[in-house]
């Protein structure tokens, strides 16, 4: 069961960080390794050198100093604008927003400048920026601090969008993002920060990266495909585990990046199972769930046994009160119910 405050997979969590690294610790390690590797990498954000919101940039200033871990004014427009200029000048800035919701304040600097400059200059200008965006509900943070707005920016050409769901992916995708010559939005679900995950040997390899555009098949199944993101991956896995006891075999796919999107893995899975459920906690209208369903109906319509379904926020601001927040966000129970309906149709 996914704990809305602190999900710890696999029972009690060993305290050894090396064997079970935390999600936020994995991001910290990725940034630390890349800053050691490349002196052009530096950090910008509100309070990142001191209080360190959510603890992700903790202790980086001790090693790299305030020249490379820079506190900024509370002005998203100024910070993204400065990052664009620094990137054009040969630097590789990593920008942290305390809450990803406020990227909308700097949408001009992002979508009209950072995203387009490489195209408009015929490749003469590169804009290697990573913007880290804490997102998502389930934390009682209120409407203006709980949104998941990645579908907005997946719509804008020139921007890459990453959605890590485990420590391993958080580290590997962050390293790929920092090395990319295009602007990358790195969405980090707040409910995942304190989670811990077992790490394979390559987790400690500073040269190991996870390429963008390569989905992870989290669970293999034959009866239905669930495409899920961020915390919904873990809700879907819990639902699949419960349904296995009823004889229902569910395949769970985690896209890991929305731009680029691993379309082939999704299509192949639906061709095998004949059923598709797309789950994301963001708003349903124009959400990534609809994009996944459109993709499948265009390329694998004949394989579908029942109409695809989607789950997400029905289209209301994320409430502050936990019971109301739970009422609008998908969870294991809703996913399980939808799967039962689809396989019995």
Go through the domains of the chain in sequence order and give each one's CATH number.
23-204 (3.40.50.970), 216-344 (3.40.50.920)
Give the highest mean pLDDT range of 41-50, 86-95, 140-149.
86-95
- Mean pLDDT in residue range 43-68: 91
For residue 18, name the pLDDT band (cuts at 50, 70, 90).
Answer: low
Q: Examine the residue annotation and report whether 189 is marked as an active-site residue of this protein.
A: no
Q: What is the pLDDT of residue 6?
A: 38
More confident residue, 19 or 271: 271
Q: What is the pLDDT of residue 205?
A: 86
Q: What is the pLDDT of residue 16?
A: 54
pLDDT digits (tens, 9 = 90+) for 90-148: 999 999 998 989 999 999 999 999 999 999 999 999 999 999 999 999 888 888 888 99
Q: Which long-range contacts (CB under 8 A, 24 or more apart) does 2-8 make?
A: 2/231, 2/234, 2/235, 2/238, 2/331, 2/332, 4/138, 4/139, 4/191, 4/322, 4/326, 5/138, 5/139, 5/191, 6/194, 6/195, 7/191, 7/192, 7/195, 7/231, 7/234, 8/195, 8/196
pLDDT digits (tens, 9 = 90+) for 190-235: 999 999 888 788 888 888 999 999 999 999 999 999 999 999 999 9
pLDDT digits (tens, 9 = 90+) for 295-321: 999 999 999 999 999 999 999 999 899
Catalytic residue chosen out of the listed positions 112, 145, 208, 234 = 145
Q: What is the pLDDT of residue 198?
A: 81
pLDDT digits (tens, 9 = 90+) for 271-292: 999 999 999 999 999 999 999 9
For residue 14, name the pLDDT band (cuts at 50, 70, 90).
Answer: very low
- Omega of the bond prior to 260 within 30 degrees of 0, cis? yes
Q: What is the pLDDT of residue 345?
A: 80
80: which strand partners?
A: none
239, 267, 132: which is closest to 190 by C-alpha? 132
């Amino acid at each position: 069961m996914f704990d809305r405050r602190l999900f710890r997979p696999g029972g009690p969590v060993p305290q050894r960080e090396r064997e079970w690294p935390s999600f936020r610790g994995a991001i910290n390690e990725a940034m630390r390794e890349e800053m050691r590797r490349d002196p052009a990498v530096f950090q910008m954000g509100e309070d990142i050198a001191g209080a360190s919101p959510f603890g992700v940039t903790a202790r980086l200033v001790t090693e790299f100093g305030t020249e490379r871990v820079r506190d900024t004014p509370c002005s998203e427009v100024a910070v993204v604008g400065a990052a664009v200029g620094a990137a054009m000048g040969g630097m590789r800035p990593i920008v942290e927003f305390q809450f990803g919701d406020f990227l909308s304040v700097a949408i001009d600097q992002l979508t009209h400048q950072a995203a387009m400059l490489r195209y408009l200059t015929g490749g003469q200008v590169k804009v290697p920026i990573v913007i880290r965006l804490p997102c998502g509900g389930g934390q009682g943070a209120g409407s203006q601090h709980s949104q998941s707005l990645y579908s907005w920016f997946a719509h804008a050409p020139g921007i890459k969008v990453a959605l890590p769901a485990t420590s391993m992916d958080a580290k590997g995708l962050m390293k790929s993002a920092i090395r990319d010559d295009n602007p990358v939005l790195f969405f980090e679900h707040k409910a995942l920060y304190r989670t811990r995950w077992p790490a394979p040997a390559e987790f400690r390899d500073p040269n190991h990266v996870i390429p963008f555009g390569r989905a992870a098949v989290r669970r293999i199944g034959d009866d239905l495909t669930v495409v899920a993101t961020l915390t919904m991956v873990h809700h879907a896995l819990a639902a699949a585990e419960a349904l296995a006891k009823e004889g229902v075999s569910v395949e769970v796919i985690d896209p890991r990046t929305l731009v680029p999107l691993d379309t082939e893995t999704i299509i192949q899975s639906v061709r095998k199972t004949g059923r598709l459920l797309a789950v994301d906690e963001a708003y349903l209208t124009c959400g990534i769930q609809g994009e996944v369903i459109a993709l499948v109906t265009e390329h694998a319509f004949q394989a579908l046994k029942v109409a695809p379904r989607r789950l997400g926020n029905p289209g209301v601001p994320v409430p502050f009160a936990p019971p109301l927040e739970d009422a609008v966000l998908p969870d294991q129970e809703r996913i399980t119910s939808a799967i039962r309906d689809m396989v019995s149709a």
